[in-house]
Amino acid sequence: MLDRDRPQATGTVARPAPAPDGTVDPGPPATPPPRPEPPPAAPATAPRRRLRRVLLIAGPLLAVAVGLYAWLAGGRYVSTDDAYVKADKVAVSARVSGPVATVAVAENQLVAAGDVLFTIDPAPFRLALDRAGAALDQTRGEIEALKASYAQKAAELKAAQSDAAYARSQFGRQSGLAKDQFVSAERLDQARHDLDAANHRVAAARGELASILASLGGDPSRPVEDHPRYLEAKARRDQAALDLADATVRAPLAGVASKTPDPGQWVAQGAPVMAVVASQRPWLEAEFKETELTHMDPGQPVTFTVDTYPGRTWHGTVESISPAAGAEFSLLPAENATGNWVKVVRRIPVRVHIDPAPGDPPLRAGMSTEVTVDTGPHGPLSRLEAVFAHLMPPRLMPGRLAAAPTGG
């Protein structure tokens, strides 16, 4: 069909023909003319290309810089999560045996040094103290009686010596008269007998006096309180008083009571009954590998976190380093002479002092921590700083280099 045969559009719009019933069909609704679409925006390829170029250049440079710094300053910080909070723990035991009479503290109760923890039935110890006191008084009386006996025997010895001297003079006189036959032999024998008897009485008195003197410790003028028998009886009395005092068990230090006993429980002398965990001056025990202790020394700064308090950091210092690995103190140390020996890196306990700070939450023994020790610069970076410290004057050096040691 040719273009000339196509109907040409005119300025009039054809109306729909009326229907047989006289109504007019409105036909399909007229559609609005389409809106003109905005011109497409030009693709922003230039900024993307610049960003890609920057990332391609700066990314490797940044990675190289980070790697170079890690190599230069590597090994300065050593960390371990094999570290736990430690505190003084005392196993409380009784010095005497007996049943528990009263318990003065509850489980996990704070106690001060010297507070009563529990008491043992004191009745047997009071009886022992009374018996020891009576024995002490009896000993004092016996010593006083010995002193009196010594004085009496000393007087008897003097009398015996006087009788012996008289008998000796009488025997001499009778012997002289017997030579001239002025007295009979019977009277001479009587005088000899009287002298022998007097000498025996002197010897007996000396023996009794020596025995009493030995009982008095060799010095009859010594005070009763210094006599050995009195001191022994006094020691027994003091021991009984000490046992009575030990029936009351007190806290050896300030802390938290744990594993408290029950009333009526039998307590054996020297056996652990309960425990007190110190609430002050805790410390850390960190187990570092032996290869991490190359540059670690006491006094180096420490930072650590506690698993119980996430997001909080504590500070401290290295207090001491154990002289031996933990395996050296085990009950069954490792036997390295066997054929199936495998080398294992040992761990050395390091004690860390905790610097207290106001507002810190409480630390309890056994809490898990993660410890980091700053061992100071000791890698190639420190050697470079030492070289710059020798070559550059201090006024031209940065503050960190100026503070670096110049001893190589």
347-389 residue pLDDT tens: 999 999 999 888 889 999 999 999 999 988 766 656 566 555 5
Structure tokens at 12: 């009039």
* DSSP characters over 132-181: HHHHHHHHHHHHHHHHHHHHHHHHHHHHHHHHHHHHHHHHHHHHHHHHTT
DSSP 360: P
Mark whether 166 and 307 lie in a shared domain. no
Please report the pLDDT score of residue 129 as a whole number: 95
- First-to-last alpha carbon distance for the chain, in angstroms, is 104
178: its two tokens: 């017997």
* H or E, element range at 356: none
- Please tell me which of 58-67, 191-200, 233-242, 391-400 the model is most confident about, judged by mean pLDDT: 233-242
Asked whether residue 179 falls in the same domain as residue 196, the answer is yes
pLDDT of residue 117: 96
Closest CA to 170 of 191, 200, 201: 191
Determine, yes or no, domain membership for 339.
no
Number of domains in the chain: 3
Are 238 and 135 members of one domain? yes
Q: Does 117 lie in the same domain as 141?
A: no
pTM score over 0.75: no
Query: What does the alpha-carbon distance between residue 93 and residue 275 come to, in Å, rounded to a whole number?
Result: 9
Domain shared by 174 and 201, yes or no: yes
- Domain presence at residue 43: no
The span from the CA of 210 to the CA of 107, in Å, is 65
Among 192, 223, 243, identify where a domain stops. 243
Give the pLDDT band (50/70/90) at residue 213: confident
Mark whether 256 and 109 lie in a shared domain.
yes
| Domain limit, last residue, from 243, 263, 296 | 243
CATH number at residue 318: 2.40.30.170
Instruction: Looking at the structure, tell me whether residues 139 and 205 fall in a common domain.
Output: yes
CATH code of residue 97: 2.40.50.100
Same domain for 363 and 305: yes
- H-type helices in 43-122, by residue range? 45-72
Same domain? 230 vs 325: no
Same domain, 190 and 255: no
pLDDT of residue 48: 78
| Domain match, 227 and 292 both | no
User: Which of 381, 317, 377 is CA-nearest to residue 351?
Assistant: 317
pLDDT greater at residue 278 or residue 161 = 278
DSSP string across 189-211: HHHHHHHHHHHHHHHHHHHHHHH
132 and 96 fall within a common domain: no
Average pLDDT rounded to a whole number, residues 165-183: 74
Q: Own/partner pairs for 28-36, CB < 8 Å, 24+ apart? A: none
- Maximum mean pLDDT: which of 43-57, 166-180, 187-201, 272-286: 272-286
pLDDT over 60 at 39, yes or no: no
Q: Look up the domain containing 237 and give its range.
A: 124-243
Provide the b/e sequence for 338-355 (b: ≥16 CB within 10 Å): eeeeeeeebbbbbbbbbe
392 assigned to some structural domain:
no
CA angle 380, 383, 388 (to 5 degrees): 125
Q: Number of H helices and number of E strands within the chain?
A: 6, 14
**Total residue count of the chain as it appears in this document:** 408
